Amino acid sequence: MGNQKHREALIDRIRKIDDENVLDEVKRLLDLNFDDTFYQLNEDQEAEITQAREELSRGKGISSDQVEKDFDEWLNK
């Protein structure tokens, strides 16, 4: 379905909605900002990421399985 047809189909469906809660939710979704912005990191953040990557390459990281196990143990205390 081309963009124009897709757009028209959505508009038709929205016109048929009577539920105010659904309309509020549609408006909320349309108000979201979907730009392609990326985060600009400062020097300290870049250094932390570099350090973390170096530690991982030297085997100093923790596996996700270990993190989940530690987390479960912490929650059950």
Based on the fold, state whether residues 47 and 24 are members of the same structural domain.
no
pTM of the model: 0.41
Provide the residue range defining the domain that includes 54. Answer: 43-75
Give the mean model confidence (pLDDT) for residues 5-11: 93
Q: What is the pLDDT of residue 44?
A: 95
The total number of structural domains that make up the chain = 2
| Percentage with pLDDT > 90 across the chain | 56
Q: What is the pLDDT of residue 32?
A: 82
Q: Which of 73, 71, 75 is nearest to 63 (CA)?
A: 71
- The reply to whether 38 falls in a domain is no
pLDDT of residue 4: 92
Distance from C-alpha of 16 to C-alpha of 3, rounded to nearest angstrom: 20
> pLDDT-based confidence at 2, cuts 50/70/90?
confident
pLDDT at position 36 over 70? no
